[in-house]
Chain A
Amino acid sequence: MTVHAQKTRKPLGTLIIRDRHLLLMFLPVFLYYLIFAYLPMVGLVMGFEDFKMGSGFEGLFTSKWVGFKWFSQFFSSPFAFRLIRNTFLLSFYSLIFGFPIPIIFAVAITQLRSPRVAKVAQVITYLPYFISTVVVVGMMTNFLSPSTGIINQLISKLGGKPVNFMSDPSWFRKLYVISGSWQSFGFNSIIFVAAIMGIDPSLYEAMEVDGASRWQRIIHLIIPGISETIILLLIMTLGNLLNVGFEKVYLMYSPAVYETGDVISTYVYRQGIENHKYGYAAAVGLFYSAVGFAFVVASNRLARRVTGSSLW
């Protein structure tokens, strides 16, 4: 990005008049972020207040100040550890199992001897990414249903005992990770395929002249060739490590699997929207946002150090 230094300092009024069209264009977006992003940030104040919904938005300034009451209540509750652990583990397992699959798939698809099959396979594997979470969780729940689901029908036919997958806490993380991988591996492989296609073709020829096998080509040319992409994406994924999608957990879980399935965002939803404990829920949410922010800043620092580029 080129930085155009403002050499001559013009008075503000002149700049406003000169850029009035640009200012006018940007105004709606400015207001959008002001209302829907920055106003809620101000609203986080309610995490330190005894906020009541009836008081409306003005309630932010009139509610009773309670300091760190909600925070200490949260951290001394038995839920804090469980929620942080569940949030972390869901992300962590998604990363460990979900990250390598698109890379392996991208290598496989670019090494396929039939480009036509490769193209068709790519188009097919993108599709699930565009299906809604409701449908993905809906299919999973119905496939795994103990009475009518195909999986349990097969288990029964093979003489096994039906498993109630969706209400078994030991299955929650596995199902979350597997379905997440199923949905996104094809789409996530796009970037690695592009990186592999970007490797200089003369390098392949050089390796061939040297008599390298295709295994050697993958290990010594392709993997190193896309390692920077891999590292950059890994760092970005780490930055969003605690960013567990609320929607999917919310649609998948039930009280029976809270032990492994309840995460910070779903807990905030239940406490705030369902139980109307707005102050308490906002405090837990603030903690979550702050930790998430720290992760992103740290990962961005790391990315800058590794590649010299940054997202800021």
Chain B
Amino acid sequence: MTVKALGKRRISNPHSFRKASPGDKALDVIIWVLVIFAVVVTLYPFLYVVSVSISEGSAVARGDVLLFPKGFSLDAFSMVTTNKQLWISYGNTFFYTIVGTLANVVFTCLGAYPLSRSHFFLRRPMNFYEAFTMYFSGGLIPTYIVVTGIGLYNSRLAMILPVLVSAYNLMICRSAMSSVPQDLFENAALEGANEFYMMTRIAVPLIKPTLAVLTLYYAVARYNDFFNAMLYLGDTNLQPLQIFLRRVLLQASNEVLQSAGGQAAAAAAENTLKIRYVCIVLSAVPIFVITPFVQKYLVSGTMLGAVKG
């Protein structure tokens, strides 16, 4: 079921608010307060960050910005966007996100398809082989030894290979492929199609909605991946945006100010905070732009995860 269903099906009482009993009216008020509170609490931090990022530096320093921007200044934006490291990080993140997500989806399909074929003679042992990794892991240290041991330290592959296939997503993909009508495969087999053909021409096209959700999950995970970068990428030329953000937001790195150069001390102090908030804005833009487009698939995707056959 998609979120659209919310709009189509009214669960709410057909009686109007005016005719409602006092108890029902009170309930309506409580519901409105709850929902409005939830929306305000969710949005406020983002609006505040955007407002600070475009306000006058002096107003920000005085603490005058509470919700709406005070004055208008794009100083911080120009400082951040002229920073070389930001664009290197941004470029790296896009590389890891695009190549990583593509690899994730391709290998998830390759793994899920055989497991969805009921006649595959290794189906049950391989299902277990894959699912067991969700419940027990070697943990941080042995994984670190393995990943660095096979030479992935300071390699772009360290952002892709160790997180190639998520067992959970593999299970979702497998369930979706299992629900494809079996006669489609049988007919294709009678006409001489091999398994590769059946996967790419029958299974994959029929589970597009599921793949859309998996692509979203994978892409967000690759875009936000901080952990692997922190462990395996020491070279700043390979590091993704999240590492840059951590330095600026959490480790009080003033690299952006320094590289902007020629700043009076006072202006620098005013701009430190603004620069941080500009970085947040720039990093969140792709997520805010893309997520609403895929959200109609979210419900079915989440349900798939929870209700497995």
Residues of A within 8 A of B (CB): 1-2, 4, 6, 15, 18-19, 21-23, 25-26, 28-30, 32-33, 35-44, 46, 53, 56-57, 104-105, 108-113, 115-128, 130-135, 137-139, 141-143, 148, 150, 153-154, 156-157, 182, 185-187, 190-191, 193-194, 196-198, 201, 204, 208, 213-215, 218, 229, 232-233, 246-247, 251, 265, 268-269, 272-273, 278, 281-282, 285-286, 288-289, 292-293, 296-297, 309, 311-312
B140 CB contacts on chain A under 8 angstroms: 246, 265, 268-269, 272-273, 281, 285
Would you give the shortest CB distance from A200 to chain B, in whole angstroms?
Answer: 11
Determine the residue in chain A with the shortest Cβ distance to B108.
A29
A265 vs B7: C-alpha distance when bound (angstroms): 44
Check A44–B150 contact: CB distance below 8 A.
Answer: no
State in angstroms the CA–CA spacing of A29 and B112 once bound together.
Answer: 9
Given contacts A32-B165, A40-B137, A130-B220, contact A112 B35 (CB under 8 A): yes
Interchain CA distance A165-B166 in the complex, whole Å: 36
Is B10 an interface residue, CB under 8 A from the partner?
A: yes
Residues of A within 8 A of B38 (CB): 105, 108, 121, 125, 185-186
A289, closest chain B residue (CB): B139
* Residue from the list B9, B138, B161, B303 in contact with A44, Cβ < 8 A: B138
Q: Shortest beta-carbon distance, B111 to chain A, in Å? A: 3
Shortest A155–chain B CB gap in Å is 11
Chain A residue nearest to B120 (CB atoms) is: A22
Chain B residues near A40 (CB-CB < 8 A): 137-139, 142-143, 145-146
Q: Verify B126–A26 contact, CB threshold 8 A.
A: yes
- In the bound complex, residues from chain A placing their C-beta under 8 Å from that of B34 are 104-105, 108
In whole angstroms, how far apart are the Cα atoms of A225 and B1 in the complex?
Answer: 17
Indicate whether B298 reaches chain A with its CB closer than 8 angstroms: yes
Please report B residues at the A interface, Cβ cutoff 8 Å: 1, 3-13, 17, 20-21, 23-24, 27-28, 30-32, 34-35, 38-39, 41-43, 45-46, 48-49, 61, 63, 65-66, 107, 110-111, 113-115, 117-122, 126, 128-131, 133, 135-147, 149-150, 161-162, 164-165, 167, 170, 178, 194-196, 199, 220, 223-224, 226-227, 231, 242, 245-246, 249-250, 272-273, 276-277, 280, 283-284, 287-288, 291-292, 295, 298-299, 302-303, 306, 308-309
- The residues of A that contact B246 with a CB separation of less than 8 Å are 134, 138, 251
11 extra A-B contacts, CB within 8 A, seeds A40-B146, A43-B145, A46-B145: A4-B118, A19-B122, A25-B111, A33-B129, A43-B143, A113-B28, A118-B7, A213-B24, A246-B227, A251-B246, A297-B135
Q: Which residues of B contact A139 (CB under 8 A)?
A: 45, 49, 249, 280
Residues of B within 8 A of A285 (CB): 138-142
Q: Which residues of B contact A201 (CB under 8 A)?
A: 9, 11
Q: Which residue of A lies closest to B273 (CB)?
A: A148
A-side contacts of B35, CB under 8 Å: 105, 108-109, 112, 117-118, 121
Contact between chains at A182 and B42 (CB < 8 Å) = yes
* Contacting residues, chain A, for B170 (C-beta < 8 A): 29
Q: Which residues of A contact B129 (CB under 8 A)?
A: 30, 33
Task: Determine the distance from Cα of A1 to Cα of B174 in the docked complex, in whole angstroms.
Answer: 12
Pick from A25, A194, A273: contact of B113, CB under 8 Å? A25
Q: Which residues of B contact A131 (CB under 8 A)?
A: 224, 284, 287
Contact B164 A197 (CB under 8 A): no
Give B245's nearest chain A residue, CB to CB: A134
Q: Which residues of the partner chain A approach B144 to less than 8 Å between Cβ atoms?
A: 272-273
Q: Is the CB of B119 within 8 A of A4?
A: yes
The answer for the CA separation of A123 and B300 in the assembled complex, in Å, is: 15
- Most chain A CB within 10 A, of B42, B164, B167, B291, is at B42
Chain B residues whose CB sits within 8 angstroms of the CB of A296 once the complex forms = 135
Q: Is the CB of B138 within 8 A of A43?
A: yes
Q: What's the Cα separation between A122 and B242 when bound, in Å?
A: 27
Which B residues are in CB contact (< 8 Å) with A190? Answer: 298-299, 302
In the bound complex, how far is the Cα of B227 from the Cα of A1, in angstroms?
Answer: 36
Pairs across A and B, CB under 8 Å, 22 listed: A4-B119, A19-B121, A33-B133, A36-B147, A37-B133, A41-B136, A109-B35, A111-B31, A121-B35, A122-B6, A138-B250, A139-B45, A150-B48, A185-B38, A197-B6, A213-B23, A214-B24, A268-B140, A281-B140, A289-B136, A293-B135, A311-B308
A265: chain B residues at CB < 8 Å are 140
Nearest-CB residue, chain B, relative to A101: B38
Asked whether, in the complex, the Cβ of B224 is within 8 Å of the Cβ of A25, the reply is: no
Question: Are the CB atoms of A110 and B6 closer together than 8 Å?
Answer: yes
Report how far A150 CA is from B38 CA in the complex, Å: 20
A18 and B117 CA atoms in complex are apart in Å by 13
* Contact A286 B276, CB 8 Å, known A191-B303, A278-B145: no
Instruction: Decide: A135 and B23 in contact? CB cutoff 8 A.
Output: no
